[in-house]
Structure 1
Amino acid sequence: MAKFGDLGNLLVLCILLGIVGSSYGQLQLNFYAKSCPQAEKIIQDYVYKQIPKAPSLAPALLRMHFHDCFVRGCDGSVLLNFTSSTKNQTEKVAVPNQTLRGFSFIDGVKKALEAECPGVVSCADIVALVARDSVVVTGGPYWKVPTGRRDGRISNASEALANIPPPTSNFSSLQTSFASKGLDLKDLVLLSGAHTIGVSHCPSFSSRLYNFTGVWGKKDPSLDSEYAAILKMKKCKSINDNTTIVEMDPGSSSKFDLSYFQLVLKRRGLFQSDAALTTSATTKSFINQLVQGSLEQFYAEFGVAMEKMGKIEVKTGSAGEIRKHCAVVNS
């Protein structure tokens, strides 16, 4: 019969083995080193070949990663189409995702990977790696992307609407939304910095110009008057304009730089959520620190925030699946 001390040692050993076993399922750099050694190079080569032909896809793919991670974690659920097996309208059709682009791009990457190593690389990892590589190839920051995510099988439009912070968010709702995903106020500021590249459509901010708080003719007082006049005269000439696109960082929307933060401090952030960042002493202080610092420092800190975001509620180990096609769950 084992003595108490032996049982104690055995218990400790079991606990340690349990810890080792649970950590095995966590994300790690070069997760596919043995199962698909060329995976990350295949993704990078595809991105580096295609994005220079369509650079506007870079911010779109970065946005896709953000929208994916904020609903059920970074599990590729944003990619799913409605089918009889999904049993509900998927995230794609939710209002926040109706302007997402790049789904066919992800499908192209998946096809290249399936030709090399079928059923190995998840769509969730593809989204995360493509977002990073697309930003890098356009001259933006690099960040580490640990892999090993598995794909979710559930995608619900109502969850996208509930979890993705809209551009009309105030500071309180932004803080609550990000905190619910394990992200702090510094992460909020840094990730908002992604607005330094790309464009938006008028409905995302036109209420600030024409009927702020539902009052027709009222302008958002937090928006610089001169900038508001330019937007009304040259861009969104009507509150019913649903097609015109506007640079989020005018004059610098193709460069990943500090211009966005400079504009926010001048009350020229395009969205209410941008202006909200200056209503908190904490977030405004972070913005001032970034503006007064170097681009290299912003790149480094943005990378840390992106890596943190990419780990939200991930499925690893035996959870989820590795989809054969990113738009549909496996049969």
Structure 2
Amino acid sequence: MAISLQCFLFLICISIFSSTMAATDPPLTLNYYKSTCPNVFDIVKKEMECHVLSDPRNAAFVLRLHFHDCFVQGCDGSILLDDTIELQGEKKASTNGLNSLKGFRIIDKIKNKLESECPGIVSCADILTIAARDAVILVGGPYWHVPVGRKDSKTASYDLAMENIPSANEGLLSIIAKFLYQGLSVTDMVALSGAHTIGMARCESFRARIYGDFEATSGKNPISDSYLSELRSVCPAIIGSGDNNVTAMDNVTPNLFDNSFYHTLLRGEGLLNSDQELYSSLFGIETKSLVQKYAADPVAFFNQFSDSMVKLGNITNSYSFVNGEVRKNCRFVNT
């Protein structure tokens, strides 16, 4: 009980700190580009339509990029920066999957279109935020308004990427702490985790889960046993063997944004330990209730996901807002 109390007090302190920091963030507006680049939303939408229609997995790639961007220095496009002699980027951090993040070329193409239409106006951070919204819509998810006006950071932080981004095998209390640090509630955390209803995971991320407590959470029945056997055929037990093999995080409707992810957790078949913890952790009284709610009510899930995505996108970098720039190339700071 003493450990639980310490964790609780620690989380409260973090929550207060993050709320104080969020209060100083600069405001974003829906009409920021109304006079300077009025077609920005249409251009992003058309490009995303092309990429998602050609491969639905691109929706998950872009959505994941946005999440990983916002959890490090706020939503400032720092995740898009390549390594240079002067700058160490975030792409090679192990929490970013050691170069497993994808979707960068999609953002590059959108940026090129916008530079032709209105050069030097639209930030890469805004492009990524808008594209993430459109990605969700294109695979059946909800709509939400995207406030814009972000600036691009001139820096990145490998260290913060290692510290701030939840890992696949992390425990529930640690994940909650990381979300609270960003000013996001437990409700936001459970709703945003629903993004795993689309996308794939690498063997390295789920090996410990399928050779660990998967059987205990799913129960021994023919269907779950068959699914586990399939997962183990994709991901061998030997570390380093098949690390880059992938499988869908939602094996029922992997290319459709719906609430199927939560049903997976109810069955105890969550692919990632960090996901199954939402339902199975002893500390997850609130998270378990939310998983049950979103599994039973897809409208409630969509509504909360939309609200939580706005909150995620509003995690701004005050320093970059004042000292940042609009990059000409999303991969490099302006010279």
What TM-score do you get using the length of structure 2 for normalisation? 0.85
Where do 1:123-142 residues align within 5 Å?
123-142=124-143
Does 1:204 find its partner at 2:205? yes
**What residue in structure 2 maps to residue 10 of structure 1?**
none
Does 1:306 find its partner at 2:286? no
Partner of 1:328, secondary structure, is coil
| Shift, 1:224, TM fit | 4.6
Label 1:263 to 1:23 Cα distance change in 2 as closer, same or farther (>3 A).
closer
Q: Does structure 2 conserve the Cα–Cα contact (< 8 Å) formed by 1:39 and 1:113?
A: yes
Label 1:168 to 1:317 Cα distance change in 2 as closer, same or farther (>3 A).
closer
Label 1:30 to 1:230 Cα distance change in 2 as closer, same or farther (>3 A).
farther
| Shift, 1:223, TM fit | 5.2
Label 1:28 to 1:237 Cα distance change in 2 as closer, same or farther (>3 A).
same
State the alpha-carbon separation in 1 of the partners of residues 276 and 199 from structure 2. 18
Where do 1:154-303 residues align within 5 Å?
154-210=155-211, 212=212, 221-222=216-217, 224-225=219-220, 226-227=224-225, 229-239=228-238, 240-278=241-279, 279=281, 280-293=284-297, 295-303=298-306
State the alpha-carbon separation in 1 of the partners of residues 109 and 219 from structure 2. 42
Q: Does structure 1 conserve the Cα–Cα contact (< 8 Å) formed by 2:194 and 2:261?
A: yes
1:64-105 superposed Cα distances (whole Å, 9 cap, x missing partner): 00000001110000000111232xx21011112221101011
1:238-297 superposed Cα distances (whole Å, 9 cap, x missing partner): 43221211110002111111111011011111111111112211111111111222x233
Label 1:170 to 1:102 Cα distance change in 2 as closer, same or farther (>3 A).
same
**What residue in structure 1 maps to residue 322 of structure 2?**
318
1:3-50 superposed Cα distances (whole Å, 9 cap, x missing partner): xxxxxxxxxxxxxxxxxxx99951011210011111111111111222
How many positions carry a matched residue from both structures?
Answer: 301
Label 1:34 to 1:173 Cα distance change in 2 as closer, same or farther (>3 A).
same
State the alpha-carbon separation in 2 of the partners of residues 34 and 162 from structure 1. 39
| Shift, 1:55, TM fit | 1.3
**What residue in structure 1 maps to residue 53 of structure 2?**
52
State the alpha-carbon separation in 2 of the partners of residues 202 and 229 from structure 1. 13
State the alpha-carbon separation in 2 of the partners of residues 224 and 143 from structure 1. 38
What TM-score do you get using the length of structure 1 for normalisation? 0.86
After the TM superposition, which of the residue ranges 58-67 and 271-280 deviates more from structure 2?
A: 271-280
Label 1:158 to 1:317 Cα distance change in 2 as closer, same or farther (>3 A).
closer
**What residue in structure 1 maps to residue 120 of structure 2?**
119
Label 1:266 to 1:220 Cα distance change in 2 as closer, same or farther (>3 A).
closer
Label 1:155 to 1:224 Cα distance change in 2 as closer, same or farther (>3 A).
farther
State the alpha-carbon separation in 2 of the partners of residues 325 and 310 from structure 1. 21
Identity %: 38
1:104-125 superposed Cα distances (whole Å, 9 cap, x missing partner): 1100000000001111100000
1:158-178 superposed Cα distances (whole Å, 9 cap, x missing partner): 221111100111111011000
State the alpha-carbon separation in 2 of the partners of residues 156 and 220 from structure 1. 38
Partner of 1:206, secondary structure, is helix
Partner of 1:92, secondary structure, is coil
- 5+ residue gaps, structure 2, are 1-22
State the alpha-carbon separation in 1 of the partners of residues 67 and 217 from structure 2. 26
State the alpha-carbon separation in 2 of the partners of residues 232 and 304 from structure 1. 34
Partner of 1:301, secondary structure, is helix
Letter in 2 for 1:292: A
Label 1:283 to 1:233 Cα distance change in 2 as closer, same or farther (>3 A).
closer
Partner of 1:175, secondary structure, is helix
**What residue in structure 1 maps to residue 100 of structure 2?**
99
Label 1:172 to 1:25 Cα distance change in 2 as closer, same or farther (>3 A).
closer
Partner of 1:306, secondary structure, is helix
Letter in 1 for 2:43: I
Aligned alpha-carbon RMSD (Å): 2.0
Q: Does structure 2 conserve the Cα–Cα contact (< 8 Å) formed by 1:195 and 1:260?
A: yes
Letter in 2 for 1:26: P
State the alpha-carbon separation in 1 of the partners of residues 263 and 183 from structure 2. 27
State the alpha-carbon separation in 2 of the partners of residues 92 and 65 from structure 1. 13
State the alpha-carbon separation in 1 of the partners of residues 25 and 37 from structure 2. 18
Partner of 1:246, secondary structure, is strand
